[in-house]
Amino acid sequence: MCHIVYTALLRLAAPALLARLVRRARANAVPVARWREWLGAGESLTPGSIWVHAASVGEVEAAVPLARALCSRYPERALLMTTTTPEGAARVEAALGSDVQHAYLPLDLPGAVRRFLRRTRPAVALIVETELWPNLYRACEQAGVPLWVVSARLSPRSLKRYRRLQPLVRETLARAEKVLAQDESAARGFRELGAPNARVQVMGNLKFDRALPPGHEEAGGLRVSVAPERAPVWVAVSTREGEEEAVLEAHLVVRESHPDAVLLWVPRHRDRFDVAFAAARAAGLSVGRRTQCPGPPLDVLVGDTIGEIGAYLGAADAAFVGGSLVPLGGQNVLEPAALGLPVLVGPSTEHFTFAVERLEDRGALWRVQDAESLGRAVAELLGDSECRKTMGDAARTVIDEGRGAVERVLAELENRLHDLR
């Protein structure tokens, strides 16, 4: 009954969902011929592929090391990557290029997912992180496609939301052949929601296995281009709506003790680039955009490019990770940690609880509560190179200790693919 109600409501919402996807497609110059993929239509793809689904940019970044390992381990099989968003598709193209085939995941409508499976005919489905789509999981089961959730995670907020839909979620998880959780907390959550105990295993977080974040090789050139020699630089990455005022206020606090400090400001979403630029200008700061290649002196550089997060992080002395001063659960703290940066976050970090706790326990991460404390913390770090080095070394150690999820997933997958030959 829950499944019927879910599908009926999704049918009613489908026009609005499609309209939103079309708006994003236009904004990202997605060819019109590909829009039909959100309804499951499109060209037939190589059958027998290993299919990896990564919803958007963050999930793609987690999936990239796994995808590369799969291409190397199984060169005889095609690798199909699906995303939900155009931004995710762009990241797949930048990171993996012609090594993979790409398609958009259709809306979770019965007809759309059946059409998708008929034209793709994958050997196995690997869903990265937390994407629980009842009709997709049902269609995979009916088509005989083994479906695994890999690097599976559950924030406390997600767990609370799924509890309200537990009959539907239990039915959906029962169709997953394996749930390979990031940590024991996530594994407990999936079992609580109804995943069969024997199918849930702890395999680790794929994001620990990532190489250095994209664009890191451009860091030196970026720093020289925007900051005078010896000027301290800090970066605010993946900031979300509602954090603009706090970031600017923090930067003004930093400049009280470091008047030549430069802020590299990288909003999470494209639609906040102009907002950030306008806010910095309204605050009376000298501001430029990365796409316009401005030169020093600058007070603020808005990072309005995709796929260069490593350049912004690598050019900085300390990093604040956004989505954490507003109640959105935080963003990926592992990227700055991988580059050996001291990491700062706000109070809302439930989407990355395990990584945040590991970094905090090792002294690689500080929590702040508001704009004022963020500014003071950044100023302290910019003035203490020894503290920055100690925190950065600890961050790299945490990353090194967390690696191994890709190899564990590959080991599990080896036996399953052998059975499918």
Residues noted as catalytic: 59
Under 8 Å between Cβ of 310 and 227: no
Beta bridge partners of 77: none
To 10 degrees, what angle do helices 156-164 and 184-193 make? 10
DSSP state of 99: G
What is the radius of gyration, based on Cα positions, of the chain?
22
* Phi, psi for residue 183 in degrees, rounded to 5: -155, 175
Give the tokens for residue 297. 């002196």
Distance separating the N- and C-terminal Cα atoms of the chain: 37
Residue 392 and residue 258: Cα distance in Å, rounded?
21
Separation of CA 76 from chain center: 29
Cα separations in angstroms, 228 against 222, 225, 265 = 11, 8, 17
DSSP characters over 263-306: EEEEESSGGGHHHHHHHHHHTT--EEEGGG---S--SEEE---S
* Phi, psi for residue 18 in degrees, rounded to 5: -65, -40
* Phi, psi for residue 127 in degrees, rounded to 5: -100, 120
Residue 417 and residue 76: Cα distance in Å, rounded?
12
Under 8 Å between Cβ of 289 and 304: yes
